[in-house]
Structure 1
């Protein structure tokens, strides 16, 4: 579990199914991030039990009420959608529409990055966003990720389509340099 000024990142609980469904059933959230909208609270519960039960996948909740409003997670090595080393991870995230534009995802991702580099001793973090997802690009830039390359025809298994995906990266040394500038 991690805390920031406004957020808690904690393991998902089955009791989060209603909140997950509330935000994941919005057509503006899943498809732009590469997954289909949730059709029922039962489907959201199944996602919590399977996809969100993996180590290093966290619910993002506001400190004031601890209700899940989004997700951040690390897909380490072969778990990643990218071909990366075993000591690297892909950062995944999303947040419900009512919370867009408030800086919650950069705040959560920065806490996750600190955990990844300091506690897990990872060497690099990767992040992707689809060509039509400018919000995701902005969040990554705020966290220090730099464009690495673009995949012109990236297959998305969840939506069964091909997309243009921009891949960003930050190494531990680059992250450490950013931390010195903040201090």
Structure 2
């Protein structure tokens, strides 16, 4: 999947250095509900495990060929989102130097088009911490509609529960 600025492709082990570069930033991971990476080895392990599936992609900046973030969808996470049966959860992030450039919106639109063309998925669910307004704007620009709020039991990851605004995108009528 590709646009003029970005490509969505599966993660490669050679992306570990770039992943660590952006995922070690203490302002990036906590906004998405995960701890900053502590080493390039940890980033490599994330590529080999968490990112090693057919519905998770690296967001690659075409100008440099560098992986600058991630996007994907999959089974509902352990984050208290009120997903319907079989409804995948969407997640994404980009490195701080790329914030405010419309990259997540571009990547999410690209992924949604791919889902519509290649799956029978009827709807997607996502959420953002209530203090991360930029992520909410990304979802809204892509057609997601707010459905309420819940709390992310994040005590295992960041030591606190945090409120999440829940949004859903209907892809096909039920």
Q: Which moved more, 1:154-163 or 1:38-47?
A: 154-163
Higher helix share: 1
Task: Provide the residue aligned with 1:128 in structure 2.
Answer: 127
Contact conserved, 1:34 with 1:159, CA < 8 A, in 2?
Answer: yes
8 Å CA contact 1:80–1:90 kept in 2: the answer is no
User: Counterpart of 2:111?
Assistant: 112
Q: 2:152 aligns with which of 133, 151, 154?
A: 154
Q: Give me the whole-angstrom Cα distance separating, in 2, the residues matched to 1:129 and 1:94.
A: 11
1:56 maps to which residue? 55
RMSD: 1.6
Where 2:88 maps in the other structure, the secondary structure is: strand
What are the within-5 Å matches in structure 2 for residues 1-183 of structure 1? 2-76=1-75, 78=76, 81=79, 82-151=81-150, 153-156=151-154, 157-173=156-172
Runs of 5+ consecutive residues of structure 1 not aligned to the other structure: 175-183
- TM superposition shift of 1:144: 1.1
Structure 1 contact 128–168 (Cα < 8 Å) conserved = yes
Q: CA deviation at 1:68?
A: 0.2
User: Equivalents in 2 of 1:79, 1:37: separation in Å?
Assistant: 19
What count of residue pairs does the alignment treat as equivalent?
Answer: 171
Give TM-score scaled by structure 2 length: 0.91
| Counterpart contact for 2:61–2:67, Cα < 8 Å | yes
Q: Which runs of 5+ in 2 are unaligned?
A: none
Higher relative contact order (CA 8 A, sep 6+): 2
8 A contact 2:121–2:172 mirrored in 1:
no
Kindly tell me: are residues 126 and 64 of structure 1, through their superposed partners in 2, closer, same or farther at Cα, counting changes over 3 Å? same
- Normalising by structure 1, we get a TM-score of 0.87
Q: Give, in whole Å, the separation in 1 of the partners of 2:99 and 2:152.
A: 26
